[in-house]
């Protein structure tokens, strides 16, 4: 296996982390329309080269993009309904209930209640028109291109509604056990619902492809995100049950999670079924390869969630919700990534290698040549040789001030006390300030080829702007930026950010000297004592 560092990060560049849901939009949640295009333009004006998003899949209870109903589908809430108004499929006043939703944060309950009846109206008129939607190409060709998952997902969502929202493993056996004949035998109401979901995916991907083309025109690469596990209640588990450790009734034989850590004294039980790695090995890891192929066709770069789980993973027995009962088991690691590299040799991946990382996990990541992640907020309050300290950051890494699971950097600074607060103040030269800007500047100055800043940090927002609190099921994924905040950022800080890109050679110029060589020195401590989990969403 090629052991050299991936050459797509040979030039220094930067990016911003902001999920689509957080962007300005007219219908209660960020969407793929003008607000997203304006955000791409802002990134380009400030000198950034990447936009990192969270998973794009449809969400259910808890609203987490890391617990999606499908690994392949898009979130219909991200559709810009104004395009359907322009196409004559909706009247402007039919969207008024959605325009009335608050702009400061997402109210998912009200969004769900109001969105689907409006989209159903557009779908009925689409069927009556017999014409394809402008800018989305041929509907028939779209369905053929995505035949491997589209009908399965549409049927799943239709049956889920038909059975009152219950998970698939609680449906009657006739529908619980997927077969190719299910689509032809759906009840009439479910058949119409399935058509609606297929239409939603057609519109979503048509708009996404145009947004991605706009980003490419402005020189912005999109970094996607693939969760390692799939949700138990998902079209993936319903259709491809054989790749998961489920019994004949669809119940989990074992669940994913992590042992006791920084976030929870009891550990975290995520509820995701574990993989049947023996079955996956016998099939050449075909399901995983197709999942990542779809991700690479949607984004330019992919962050591979919970990289440690490809080496060793925490198994919690049966339906237990106590992670302390678990144990570590081995995953196929090298064999899996060898198959992946043969199938997708051009895939650009970032390994999310946070948490308690063993020497074996470090060796696996370096062997496959993926950059890891370093989080500046994790650099303090632990041992003096912490690998997240800016002066210990290796070249084969991507540096973040924080992630979607962290508090904002200003919120973090405001929470520090005593000796840790003094050290952080001295290290970053804060002089009593609690602004995120000195921390972001330090991230720009590291040797890491790519630095990614959460949008909340660019806006220097307090802890109230946090996106997610691991281990909690409610009240997350609601934060949204207001249009005026982005305008002020562009007006007040664009020049400073452009100067940083020039000062720290982060303009993505491939003519710069090669920064892709592996690090010459790695601190003796290869783990952090603060486990960071991006999966307890």
Which position has the token pair 């001295």?
A: 426
Question: Considering 193, 236, 261, 405, which one is annotated as catalytic?
Answer: 405
Alpha-carbon torsion (23, 29, 31, 33), positive or negative: negative
Domain extent at residue 446:
7-503
| Assigned domain for 516 exists | no
- Give residue-wise pLDDT tens across range 24-67: 999 999 999 999 999 999 999 999 999 999 999 999 889 999 99
| Assigned domain for 1 exists | no
- Give residue-wise pLDDT tens across range 65-124: 999 999 999 999 999 999 999 999 999 999 999 999 998 899 999 999 999 999 999 999
Mean pLDDT (the chain) is 92
| Assigned domain for 515 exists | no
Q: Is 83 a catalytic residue?
A: no
What is the spatial distance between Cα 414 and Cα 434, in angstroms, rounded to a whole number? 6
Question: Considering 305, 311, 396, 530, which one is annotated as catalytic?
Answer: 305
pLDDT number for residue 473: 81
Q: Is 242 a catalytic residue?
A: no
Whether 520 and 13 have beta carbons less than 8 Å apart is answered as no
Q: pLDDT-derived band of residue 519, with 50, 70 and 90 as boundaries? A: very low
| Assigned domain for 262 exists | yes
What is the spatial distance between Cα 397 and Cα 450, in angstroms, rounded to a whole number? 7
Q: Is 300 a catalytic residue?
A: no
Residue 146 tokens, joined: 């995505």
Interior angle at CA 299, CA 313 and CA 60, nearest 5: 60
Which position has the token pair 């079924």?
A: 273
What is the spatial distance between Cα 291 and Cα 312, in angstroms, rounded to a whole number? 21
> Which has more confidence, 514 or 101?
101
Q: How many domains does the chain divide into?
A: 1
Nearest to 26 by CA among 122, 134, 98: 98
- Give residue-wise pLDDT tens across range 389-440: 999 999 999 999 999 999 999 999 999 999 999 999 999 999 999 999 999 9
Residues of the chain above pLDDT 70, percent = 92
What φ, ψ does residue 479 adopt, rounded to 5°? -65, 140
Which position has the token pair 């799943």?
A: 156
- Give residue-wise pLDDT tens across range 492-510: 999 999 999 999 999 987 5
What's the longest Cα–Cα distance across the chain?
69
| Assigned domain for 532 exists | no
Burial 479-488 (b: 16+ CB within 10 A, else e): bbbeeeebee
| Assigned domain for 16 exists | yes
> Which has more confidence, 428 or 383?
428
Asked whether residue 523 carries a pLDDT value surpassing 90, the answer given is no
pLDDT number for residue 320: 85
pLDDT number for residue 524: 36
CATH code: domain of residue 246: 3.20.20.80
**Residue 196: enclosing H or E segment and its boundaries?**
helix 188-217
Span 176-204, mean pLDDT?
Answer: 96
- Quote the pTM value: 0.94
Instruction: Give one DSSP letter per residue of 440-508, joined into a string.
Output: HHHHHHSS-SEEEEEHHHHTT--GGG----TT--SS-S-B---HHHHHHHHHHHHHHHHHHHHHTT-S-
Helices (H), 266-310: 277-282, 286-298
**Bridge partners of residue 221, in order along the sequence:** 50
Residue 412 tokens, joined: 């973090």
- Give residue-wise pLDDT tens across range 275-315: 999 999 999 999 999 999 999 999 999 999 999 999 999 99
Which position has the token pair 């108004």?
A: 85
Asked whether residue 318 carries a pLDDT value surpassing 70, the answer given is yes
Alpha-carbon torsion (263, 266, 267, 269), positive or negative: negative
pLDDT number for residue 384: 56
Alpha-carbon torsion (60, 64, 70, 72), positive or negative: positive
| Assigned domain for 536 exists | no
Question: Considering 352, 396, 457, 530, which one is annotated as catalytic?
Answer: 352
Nearest to 130 by CA among 82, 89, 173: 89
């Amino acid at each position: 296996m090629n052991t050299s560092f991936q050459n797509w990060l040979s030039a220094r560049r930067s990016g911003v982390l902001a999920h689509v849901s957080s962007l300005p939009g007219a219908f209660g949640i960020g969407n793929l329309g003008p607000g997203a295009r304006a955000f791409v333009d802002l990134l380009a004006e400030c000198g950034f080269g990447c936009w990192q998003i969270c998973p794009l899949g449809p969400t259910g209870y808890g609203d987490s993009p890391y617990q999606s109903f499908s690994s392949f589908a898009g979130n219909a809430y991200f559709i810009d309904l104004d395009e359907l108004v322009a196409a004559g499929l909706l009247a402007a006043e039919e969207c008024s209930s959605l325009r009335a939703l608050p702009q400061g944060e997402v109210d998912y309950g009200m969004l769900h209640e109001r969105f689907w009846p409006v989209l159903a109206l557009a779908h009925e008129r689409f069927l009556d028109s017999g014409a394809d939607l402008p800018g989305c190409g041929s509907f028939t060709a779209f369905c053929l291109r995505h035949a491997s998952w589209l009908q399965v997902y549409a049927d799943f969502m239709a049956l889920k509604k038909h059975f009152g929202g219950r998970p698939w493993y609680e449906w009657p056996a006739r529908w619980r056990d997927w077969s190719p004949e299910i689509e032809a035998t759906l009840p009439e109401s479910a058949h119409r619902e399935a058509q609606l979901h297929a239409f939603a995916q057609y519109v979503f991907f048509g708009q996404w492809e145009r947004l991605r083309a706009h980003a490419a025109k402005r020189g912005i690469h999109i970094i996607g995100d693939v969760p390692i596990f799939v949700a138990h209640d998902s079209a993936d588990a319903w259709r491809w049950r054989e790749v998961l450790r489920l019994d004949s009734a669809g119940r989990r034989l074992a669940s994913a999670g992590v042992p006791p850590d920084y976030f929870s004294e009891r550990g975290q039980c995520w509820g995701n079924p574990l993989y049947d790695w023996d079955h996956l090995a016998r099939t050449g890891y075909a399901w995983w390869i197709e999942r990542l192929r779809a991700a690479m066709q949607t984004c330019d770069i992919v962050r591979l969630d919970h990289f440690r789980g490809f080496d060793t993973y925490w198994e919690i027995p049966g339906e237990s919700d106590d992670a302390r009962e678990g144990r570590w088991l081995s995953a196929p690691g090298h064999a899996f990534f060898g198959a992946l590299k043969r199938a997708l040799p051009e895939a650009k991946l970032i390994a999310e290698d946070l948490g308690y990382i063993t020497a074996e996990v470090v060796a696996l990541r370096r062997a496959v040549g993926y950059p890891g992640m370093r989080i500046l907020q994790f650099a303090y309050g632990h041992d003096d040789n912490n690998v997240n300290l800016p002066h210990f950051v290796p070249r084969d890494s991507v540096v973040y001030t924080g992630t979607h699971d962290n508090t904002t950097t200003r919120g973090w600074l405001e929470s520090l006390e005593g000796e840790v607060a003094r050290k952080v103040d001295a290290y970053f030269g804060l002089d009593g300030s609690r602004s995120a800007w000195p921390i972001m500047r330090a991230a720009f100055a590291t040797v890491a080829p790519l630095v990614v800043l959460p949008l909340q940090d660019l806006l220097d927002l307090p802890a109230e702007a946090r996106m997610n609190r691991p281990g909690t099921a409610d009240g997350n994924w609601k934060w949204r930026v207001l249009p005026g905040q982005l305008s002020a950022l562009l007006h007040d800080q664009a020049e400073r950010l452009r100067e940083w890109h020039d000062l720290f050679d982060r303009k993505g110029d491939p003519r710069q000297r090669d920064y892709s060589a592996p690090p010459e020195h790695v601190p003796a401590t290869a783990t952090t004592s603060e486990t960071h989990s991006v999966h307890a969403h």
